[in-house]
Chain A
């Protein structure tokens, strides 16, 4: 019986072809019809998987409806409801395990940053700005945790967490290292040694605390944060004296400067913080005095994979929207997705996303994040994300640059991930610095 080409193609598809195998052979073939997302989720441990699914639901229910307007009119957007909702769902307390936080216990000790990274990808798939709004909070928290100081953890972090999760209070923290004259400097060893810093703390023996003066800029969530972890050098000393201070909203002398107008990630502010003789009580010193530089570099080790995950989310967001567009749109008699050149392009995007995800998850899968792994994951994921977003825009032709289709928003959002947490050039140097002494990937006995 002569069959049509369509019938023959149908028969050759793996799902049908395997029917001709014996039962044991069939058992060795994975024929489950499952999305890439689901496939990847199943490779995660139960606890992380749960957070991934939960974050997907949250981002679709809460972030998706707000995203376009929060991007177009960031100044009219009220962040409190979404911060409160995220807190109620436990997303703002993922850096500690129960009873103080909400992270799943076993995976936490195998990879502290993985749960935040997984959540970050899901949030960023819908909106870079809102993802940053929710995640920059963790960046403010991490210095307290990594200080290793029980005084800071139980005195400041735990009460903050309990208030956030139990009461669902939209409390928010921020992390302040960048100064107007020192951006990349404070993210790299050699630059740090030469940096000219203006934010200075002077010990006041009478008041038993520090007087903080100076400015920080580009601080994500700076205008919304209730507390900020601020790094400052001690008077007449260099960056090696950097100390982390917990500055609280309402402290006399602490004020906001200009809020930057950004190309993307607009729902989250990037603000200037001004410290004019702000008195910081001794209890608000995070960790030991002069331990700030090490603390800062370690914070970046933990945050960079998460930034990579956010970039990955932007790439996935652009890919998903582009895929949907190709399904719906016709070019001549056929839908776009039926053209092989379009399929090649989409497949290339999916491969890039998959590679970036693998690298990020790999870099997070240890208890302590390390410099070269984190920097590499951030660089690769952010470069990949920008490339994928460009591909998505190009594939959609003129429709790609219209705001209503969402892809251009992802493209704008993704560009920032190549810049913050150290530009990708600085991150490359960080990788080199860390691995040079160990001869990179050369095997040792």
Chain B
């Protein structure tokens, strides 16, 4: 039984990943929430993320770290599938969606670097992915001809000048850990997609924090402008066309966000059940009240459905448009289910759910950010329809 294959890995490995995430959560993340901080004591976060690199949960482009292979979205996803990364993310998100999102963003950017078949000019540790421009991820609502699709509307452009490229443009809502060493930028070069590794200290990069936001506050979110940034030719990660990398990055992003949402919802359900078993109202524990039973049962049902949907794609390679359509559908439906579950769980707490003490309001804020982040439901629906339409032709 222990060695039964689940996805591309055996059940024993699954247990190992779950145990690793639980230990990390207990030892490193829980202490952040001691004291009166609605989003945790974020000054402790850099140290805790460093631990994630050390124990191999955070993916790292550097071979000397175990996360290089087995971290979230590390190199091992080619053989093990998406399951380990999604398990790690969802378990960490049960305690803090923001920390999970940090590790997820690090993993997606790292995974693109690991796909490079050549030696890059430098090996960073903390990386962020620059993909989205303005309102939406690429394709801007339509992909009329996927086989001929070019990033025509992407405004971040590179021009080749002798032994280097010059990059100009801007990227929005770049999620990363704070103090990023480098960015992986997906941009337009000679009417095709290109993927580049860029040092965060490069001259011409202007970073602006997006400012106060609803949730996911453990994560750093920036707008980045590139003002004629000089990039060596060797910093190009892809061979000729990074379109598949774009699809892969978007797919991983959505699957990871869906896994984070499942974790947040599961954390909310556990907290709601615990509260319902402790809190008295009307002379009885509130878990005896029909209204509370209905709320918790509805949330549980939503979470089970969400989990089934997320893990159904555990063996997907996320490289084709069909995979992308499925990943978009997962993000669309799973986050909706999870946010409904979280709001129902919050409701069981009554007034206490709205206060910072029980962490329920944080869960609701975090899961709500996931709904809008990196592809709103309207955008996702349009993309799903467009890919479906192209496929049926």
Which residues does A use to contact B, with CB under 8 Å?
72, 178, 181-185, 188, 190-191, 193-196, 217-218, 260-264, 270, 329-332, 336, 339, 341-342, 345, 386, 390, 393-404, 408, 411-412, 415-416, 418-420, 423-426, 428-429
The B275-328 residues at the A interface (CB cut-off 8 A) are 280-284, 291-292, 295
Cα–Cα distance between A426 and B348 once the two chains are bound (Å): 11
Nearest-CB distance from B189 to chain A (Å)?
Answer: 21
Residue of B nearest to A331 (CB): B135
CB-CB under 8 A from A182, the residues of chain B are 281
B135 touches which one: A194, A397, A424 (CB < 8 A)? A397
Nearest-CB distance from B254 to chain A (Å)?
Answer: 14
Residue B120 at the A interface, CB < 8 A? no
Cα–Cα distance between A390 and B365 once the two chains are bound (Å): 11
B284 touching A420, Cβ below 8 Å: no
B281 touching A416, Cβ below 8 Å: no
Nearest-CB distance from B39 to chain A (Å)?
Answer: 11
Residue B212 at the A interface, CB < 8 A? yes
CB-CB under 8 A from B376, the residues of chain A are 394-398, 400
A185 touches which one: B211, B282, B346, B351 (CB < 8 A)? B282
A397 touches which one: B36, B136, B213, B381 (CB < 8 A)? B136
CB-CB under 8 A from A429, the residues of chain B are 291
Residue of B nearest to A420 (CB): B351
A331 touching B136, Cβ below 8 Å: yes
Cα–Cα distance between A190 and B365 once the two chains are bound (Å): 33
Residue B253 at the A interface, CB < 8 A? no
Q: 8 tightest CB-CB pairs across the interface, nearest first?
A: A194-B283, A403-B212, A425-B291, A263-B361, A191-B282, A397-B376, A401-B214, A194-B282
CB-CB under 8 A from B364, the residues of chain A are 263, 415
B281 touching A183, Cβ below 8 Å: yes
30 residue pairs A–B, Cβ–Cβ below 8 Å: A184-B350, A195-B283, A218-B351, A260-B355, A261-B36, A263-B356, A263-B361, A270-B351, A339-B141, A390-B339, A393-B368, A393-B371, A394-B372, A395-B378, A397-B135, A397-B376, A397-B379, A398-B372, A398-B374, A399-B135, A401-B213, A401-B214, A401-B369, A401-B372, A401-B373, A402-B210, A402-B211, A402-B213, A415-B346, A418-B347
Binary interface encoding of chain B residues 377-389 relative to chain A, with 1 for a CB under 8 A from any of its CBs, else 0 = 1110110000000
Residue B150 at the A interface, CB < 8 A? no
Cα–Cα distance between A336 and B141 once the two chains are bound (Å): 11
Cα–Cα distance between A292 and B193 once the two chains are bound (Å): 71
Given known A-B contacts A393-B371, A411-B214, A398 and B173 have beta carbons under 8 A apart: yes
B372 touching A397, Cβ below 8 Å: yes
Which residues does B use to contact A, with CB under 8 Å?
36, 38, 132, 134-136, 140-141, 153, 172-173, 210-215, 280-284, 291-292, 295, 339, 343, 346-347, 350-351, 353-357, 361, 364-365, 368-369, 371-379, 381-382
Nearest-CB distance from A403 to chain B (Å)?
Answer: 4
B354 touching A415, Cβ below 8 Å: yes
CB-CB under 8 A from B215, the residues of chain A are 401
Cα–Cα distance between A270 and B180 once the two chains are bound (Å): 40
Given known A-B contacts A393-B372, A396-B376, A419 and B280 have beta carbons under 8 A apart: no
B282 touching A419, Cβ below 8 Å: no
Given contacts A393-B372, A419-B354, 18 further A-B pairs with CB under 8 A are A184-B281, A185-B281, A260-B355, A261-B36, A261-B356, A270-B351, A331-B134, A332-B140, A332-B153, A393-B214, A394-B377, A402-B210, A403-B211, A403-B212, A403-B213, A419-B350, A419-B351, A425-B292
B372 touches which one: A218, A270, A400, A416 (CB < 8 A)? A400
CB-CB under 8 A from B361, the residues of chain A are 262-263
Cα–Cα distance between A415 and B342 once the two chains are bound (Å): 12
B378 touches which one: A341, A390, A426 (CB < 8 A)? A341
Cα–Cα distance between A428 and B280 once the two chains are bound (Å): 20
Nearest-CB distance from B208 to chain A (Å)?
Answer: 12
Residue of B nearest to A339 (CB): B141
CB-CB under 8 A from B365, the residues of chain A are 263, 412
CB-CB under 8 A from B280, the residues of chain A are 181, 196
Residue of A nearest to B38 (CB): A261
Residue of B nearest to A260 (CB): B355
B347 touching A262, Cβ below 8 Å: no
Cα–Cα distance between A402 and B369 once the two chains are bound (Å): 9
B381 touching A341, Cβ below 8 Å: yes
Cα–Cα distance between A408 and B214 once the two chains are bound (Å): 6
Residue of A nearest to B373 (CB): A398
Residue of B nearest to A195 (CB): B282
Nearest-CB distance from A316 to chain B (Å)?
Answer: 20
Nearest-CB distance from A136 to chain B (Å)?
Answer: 14
CB-CB under 8 A from B132, the residues of chain A are 398
CB-CB under 8 A from A195, the residues of chain B are 282-283
B283 touches which one: A72, A196, A341 (CB < 8 A)? A196
Cα–Cα distance between A218 and B215 once the two chains are bound (Å): 24
Nearest-CB distance from B68 to chain A (Å)?
Answer: 30
Cα–Cα distance between A399 and B374 once the two chains are bound (Å): 10
Nearest-CB distance from B376 to chain A (Å)?
Answer: 4
Cα–Cα distance between A401 and B175 once the two chains are bound (Å): 14
Cα–Cα distance between A193 and B36 once the two chains are bound (Å): 35
B212 touching A194, Cβ below 8 Å: no
B378 touching A394, Cβ below 8 Å: yes
Cα–Cα distance between A330 and B153 once the two chains are bound (Å): 12
B354 touching A262, Cβ below 8 Å: yes
CB-CB under 8 A from A428, the residues of chain B are 291
CB-CB under 8 A from A418, the residues of chain B are 347
Q: In the complex, which of the residues B283, B339, B353, B372 has the most CB atoms of chain A within 10 Å of its own CB atom?
A: B372
CB-CB under 8 A from A193, the residues of chain B are 282
Cα–Cα distance between A202 and B136 once the two chains are bound (Å): 64
CB-CB under 8 A from B212, the residues of chain A are 72, 402-404
Cα–Cα distance between A222 and B369 once the two chains are bound (Å): 32
Residue of A nearest to B132 (CB): A398
CB-CB under 8 A from B371, the residues of chain A are 390, 393-394
Given known A-B contacts A184-B350, A194-B284, A398 and B141 have beta carbons under 8 A apart: no
Cα–Cα distance between A29 and B376 once the two chains are bound (Å): 39
A416 touching B354, Cβ below 8 Å: yes
Cα–Cα distance between A261 and B213 once the two chains are bound (Å): 17
Nearest-CB distance from B272 to chain A (Å)?
Answer: 14
Cα–Cα distance between A136 and B372 once the two chains are bound (Å): 33
CB-CB under 8 A from A185, the residues of chain B are 281-282
Cα–Cα distance between A341 and B381 once the two chains are bound (Å): 10
Nearest-CB distance from A420 to chain B (Å)?
Answer: 7
Q: In the complex, which of the residues A217, A261, A263, A395 has the most CB atoms of chain B within 10 Å of its own CB atom?
A: A263
A398 touching B281, Cβ below 8 Å: no
CB-CB under 8 A from A270, the residues of chain B are 351, 355
Nearest-CB distance from A177 to chain B (Å)?
Answer: 12
Cα–Cα distance between A73 and B104 once the two chains are bound (Å): 31
Given known A-B contacts A194-B282, A398-B373, A262 and B350 have beta carbons under 8 A apart: no
Cα–Cα distance between A412 and B38 once the two chains are bound (Å): 14
Q: In the complex, which of the residues B173, B213, B354 has the most CB atoms of chain A within 10 Å of its own CB atom?
A: B354
CB-CB under 8 A from B295, the residues of chain A are 425
A263 touching B213, Cβ below 8 Å: no
Cα–Cα distance between A394 and B379 once the two chains are bound (Å): 10
Q: In the complex, which of the residues B172, B214, B379 has the most CB atoms of chain A within 10 Å of its own CB atom?
A: B214
CB-CB under 8 A from A217, the residues of chain B are 351
Cα–Cα distance between A113 and B140 once the two chains are bound (Å): 48
Residue of B nearest to A397 (CB): B376
Q: In the complex, which of the residues B153, B291, B350, B382 has the most CB atoms of chain A within 10 Å of its own CB atom?
A: B350
Cα–Cα distance between A419 and B346 once the two chains are bound (Å): 10
